Structure 1
């Protein structure tokens, strides 16, 4: 199911993530049928590991109330997704302090909610890289300015020059990969590299449903990335150049985990090295190759 979705929508990693979360919910309700709510997790049961999986259930038998249980679990998952941004924003005061200078890039609704949550009780300044050629950073800057947050828009080329004045870098992401790296908006890699050079901590705001059990394969850019029209970079009006150059306009960057200091999700903060544990709790090993 996840593989077919990825073939239909290359680069749509969230299709795979949601497919795997659904399978985990279905398998959990299927395995726990007929047992009480205090049953142990079969995956973590030493007894089950020693038995070597010799006992099998007859899956041809009808399962009472399975449909209702799965639907209820899906509603709980959807509710968690809807409340994830507010849960992340509630942690803002623990990470943003008065008179700090925060740098971000692009427009992430989660980061916007996070900054607005801190602005209710703290005064700070935000520097927003405009994220050319999409210029999503301008939209974020406008929304923050309307919320009475002191905001400055800069070009992407000015990120390194201003990084020495910054206290924290806070960004969002499209997907958190299995190794703790990011599939983030183009320009995020350069931003985090500049932050590391100046020893500025990088915080990533990402809900749990953005965690993926997939790793980046350097040769699999067609699946990982999304290449869009280069018209915004080199328009057809430049007719004398169009026939002489081949322009790639990728939407996403891969950010290695060693450039990230902290993940803030709807369940709290974690280091990139802990992502593997969160993924093992979210997904079943049998569903990792969808």
Structure 2
């Protein structure tokens, strides 16, 4: 049994992310699910309230250490909603009712406080978590299965850098359609090169272009299909640096921008008017300017931002494993994923 204040599991996850032992959000998602599975199975808790407190401790610890990596926090917040829902189902089976009128009037005598010891809650949560794990593992395939609905023959698709989900989406479409792909190389990481190589191996006609050529080439494109780091509460994106320019160019030519996103990338947070400076993080400038230039550029301030903020009006469609949705529908998806009391922890 673990003590309530033993956070070694989440600290290990944080360490692995910081040391690049885990690179993709998908791997973070699976590790987080496994962490929660162990917590529910072996954690020292007797009520839903105690379990929720344990999960919230881990959310706070993770958010303080890695505020720019929302995947683990999002999954833990989703599990909080599952705990609430499962507890409520058990309570209803036991004959406890809570009318809307009582809640509105502030009558808390029958409002759930999650403190009752429920004998079969642990097994119910583990069953639900097993289903959620299956959902995580099949999410990419379910998104890719929709590719033929959105990509048609002889179209030209533009994407930026490398995304595992976009790669599978395009490869899935290529089984039924013949189309061309333009890959923006995504300097200074140049991950677009490996993306283009992967697509070419699947016999997809692929062209690599530098970031500076986006506006010159985009008028030839039928669709822009990209992945994203985070989907904010208002439908905006926190995406790889360079995508904002692509989205602006697409808007200029009225080209649809489709964003492939797993549900765990939807976060209940949004960018405030004064949060732009804290929104981004900068990587080492060494990938932009070699260290050998240091003596020459002592007075230069070199920035290497990792992310762009893409407002929702530049996005046409979000595609998740549940189907396609407009940015204005994100609020509804958030209500399905998270309980309002858990938006900010």
Pick the TM interval, shorter chain. over 0.9
Change (3 A) 1:203 1:88: same
User: Does structure 1 conserve the Cα–Cα contact (< 8 Å) formed by 2:140 and 2:262?
Assistant: yes
Note if 1:9 corresponds to 2:66. Answer: yes
1:160-218, Cα deviation, whole Å (9 max, x unpaired): 00011000000001111000001111111001001001111101111112111000135
Q: Which contiguous aligned blocks of 4+ residues in structure 1 show a shift greater than 2 angstroms?
A: 1-4, 45-54, 56-61, 217-226, 239-242
Note if 1:273 corresponds to 2:328. Answer: yes
CA-CA distance at 1:129 after TM superposition = 0.2
Using the alignment, how far apart are the partners of 1:11 and 1:227 within structure 2? 11
More helix per residue: 1 or 2?
2
1:128-185, Cα deviation, whole Å (9 max, x unpaired): 0000011111111110000000000000000100011000000001111000001111
1:49-85, Cα deviation, whole Å (9 max, x unpaired): 5454522346443211111111222222221111111
User: 1:97 maps to what in 2?
Assistant: 152
Q: Equivalent of 1:19, from 76, 80, 87?
A: 76
User: 1:186 maps to what in 2?
Assistant: 241
2:258 alignment partner, SS class: strand
Change (3 A) 1:157 1:261: same
Q: Equivalent of 2:292, from 237, 241, 244?
A: 237
CA RMSD after TM alignment:
2.1
Using the alignment, how far apart are the partners of 2:224 and 2:242 within structure 1? 13
TM-score by length of 1: 0.92
Segment of structure 1 superposing worse, 216-225 or 144-153: 216-225
* 1:56-205 equivalences in 2 (<5 Å): 56-57=111-112, 59-205=114-260
1:7 alignment partner, SS class: helix
Using the alignment, how far apart are the partners of 1:60 and 1:179 within structure 2? 34
User: Does structure 2 conserve the Cα–Cα contact (< 8 Å) formed by 1:11 and 1:222?
Assistant: no
Change (3 A) 1:82 1:58: closer
Gaps of 5+ in 2: 1-57
TM-score by length of 2: 0.78
Segment of structure 1 superposing worse, 211-220 or 176-185: 211-220
User: 1:33 maps to what in 2?
Assistant: 90
Gaps of 5+ in 1: none
Segment of structure 1 superposing worse, 264-273 or 232-241: 232-241
